[in-house]
Amino acid sequence: MSSELRVKFWGVRGSYPTPGAETVKYGGNTASIEVRAGERTIILDAGTGIIPLGRELARTTPALAGGARERAGEIMLLFSHLHHDHTQGFPFFVPAYMPSTKLHIFGPDGTHESMRNVLERNQSSETFPVGLRDMSATKDIQAVRESQVILWDETGVRAVESTVGLDNEAAVVIRIHKSYAHPGGVYAYRITWRGKSVVYATDTEGYVGTDRKLVQFAKDADVLIHDAQYLEEHYRGQLVGFPSTQGFGHSTVTMACEVAAASEAGQLILFHHDPSYSDDMVAGIERTAKSLFADSVAAYEGLEISLTPNPSPIGRGENVAVRLQSSAVNGRDVQYAQNG
C-alpha cells in the first residue's frame, strides 16, 4: 500500500474551459485536483478536469473496473463552492454512473439553496438529460460547516465536530476554512495525512496586509494551492484590453505569494489561471511568482507532487495522531513528475 500523499492536477483554469493552441502548455480544463492519501482518493472540485480523471479512475480502480465487486470504490469529492467552473464536469464523471462507486460529497450550502438542490438543479431535465438521482453510484451528499472536520479512516468517512482524542495515524483529516473573499463565499480545505498537508485555497481575493486567517489556516503546509488568476496590471486595470478585476474574488500573483510567504508554505502552486491568458501570460505569472516566493510553480494539467512521510516519530507539530519528521535539510521532500 502506498504511503505517499500525492497531488495531481487535472484542471487548472478558472471560469470556463479554454481549448486551443494558446493554452496547450498549462491546459484548458476548469478546476479539478486529485489527492491520493495512500489508496484513498479525494477530489477537489468538479470542473471539466474531473472528466478525464473519471475515465482514468474507472479504468484503474479495481473496485470500479470490476476486479473486487464485494467492495465499493469509495471516492470523496470536496466542493470549494458551487460556481459553474467547479461543478460543470460532474455530470460527465464516469464513476458516478457506476453502481460499484460510493461517492462521499462534501461542501458548503449555497446562500439561498442547499448544496444538494444546486447539484440537482444543474441536472434538471431542462438543463441535462440525466438527473442526479439517475446516476447509479451511491451518493452521500453532506453540507459541512467550518467548525466540522472530515475524517477518513478504516471505519469509513464522516464529518465530526472535534478531533480531540483522535489517535489514529491512518486517518485522513480534512479541515475547513470559510472565506468571504469570493462572491457567495468559498471553502478552503487542508488535507493532512501522516504529518503531511496540502492546502487548497482557490477563488479567493487577497487583502491589504494579506489574508491573516488564511495564513493561519495554511501555516506550515507542505503544499499551498492558491488562486493566482491575475497579473498585477490586469487587476489594477492597467493592461490594455483587460478591464480591472478588483472585487471579482480572485487573487493577483503577488497576493498568492504573500500568503505563501507568511504561512511559510513549502511550495506554492499557482492555480485558477485566467481563461483569457495564453501560455505565455501564465508563464509570466510564474516568473513573477518565483521572484517573490522561490518555490512557486504555475499549475498545469498533469502536474504531480508526491509527499513522502518520514517514518521518524519526531514531529513538526501537525495536529494528527502520528507526528512525522520532515526531511533533514529544509523540512521539505517534495518531488515533481510530469505525467500526461
Please choose, out of 1-9, 196-204, 278-286, 305-313, the segment that lies near Zn ion by the rule CB under 5 A: 196-204
Helix (H) or strand (E) holding 122: helix 115-122
Please choose, out of 1-9, 10-18, 122-130, 229-237, the segment that lies near Zn ion by the rule CB under 5 A: 10-18
Please choose, out of 6-14, 20-28, 117-125, 126-134, the segment that lies near Zn ion by the rule CB under 5 A: 6-14
Shortest separation between residue 119's beta carbon and Zn ion, angstroms: 16
Between 11 and 195, CB nearer to Zn ion: 11
Between 8 and 81, CB nearer to Zn ion: 81
* Among positions 34, 45, 74, 85, the unique one binding Zn ion when judged by CB under 5 A: 85
Between 52 and 185, CB nearer to Zn ion: 185
Shortest separation between residue 83's beta carbon and Zn ion, angstroms: 4
Task: For residue 280, give the amino acid letter.
Answer: D
Helix (H, G, I), strand (E, B) or coil at 303: strand
Please choose, out of 141-149, 153-161, 201-209, 233-241, the segment that lies near Zn ion by the rule CB under 5 A: 201-209
Q: Which of residues 45-84 bind Zn ion (CB under 5 A)?
A: 83
Give the CB-nearest residue to Zn ion: 83
Shortest separation between residue 281's beta carbon and Zn ion, angstroms: 18
How many residues contact Zn ion, by CB under 5 A? 4
Between 85 and 286, CB nearer to Zn ion: 85
Helix (H, G, I), strand (E, B) or coil at 236: coil
Between 184 and 315, CB nearer to Zn ion: 184
- Helices then strands (H, E): number in the chain? 8, 16
CA dist., res. 296 & res. 318, Å (int): 23
Task: Quickly count: other Cβ atoms within 10 Å of residue 287's Cβ.
Answer: 12
Between 34 and 85, CB nearer to Zn ion: 85
Between 64 and 259, CB nearer to Zn ion: 259
CA distances from 177 to 117, 189, 201, 244, 261 (A): 23, 6, 9, 27, 19
The residues, any chain, with a CB within 8 Å of residue 148's CB and separated by 6 or more, are 159, 160, 161, 176
Per the structure block, which three cell numbers stand in for 33? 485536483
Shortest separation between residue 220's beta carbon and Zn ion, angstroms: 26
Shortest separation between residue 107's beta carbon and Zn ion, angstroms: 12
Per the structure block, which three cell numbers stand in for 308? 513522502
Shortest separation between residue 327's beta carbon and Zn ion, angstroms: 33
Q: In whole angstroms, what separates CA 315 from the centre of its chain? A: 25
Per the structure block, which three cell numbers stand in for 220? 506550515
CA dist., res. 154 & res. 151, Å (int): 10
Between 74 and 85, CB nearer to Zn ion: 85
Helix (H) or strand (E) holding 51: helix 50-60
The residues, any chain, with a CB within 8 Å of residue 312's CB and separated by 6 or more, are 324, 325
Please choose, out of 102-110, 187-195, 200-208, 314-322, the segment that lies near Zn ion by the rule CB under 5 A: 200-208
Q: Burial-class residue 225 by CB neighbours within 10 Å (0-12, 13-18, 19+).
A: buried
Task: For residue 23, give the amino acid letter.
Answer: T
14 binds Zn ion (CB under 5 A): yes
Q: Which residues bind Zn ion (CB under 5 A)?
A: 14, 83, 85, 203
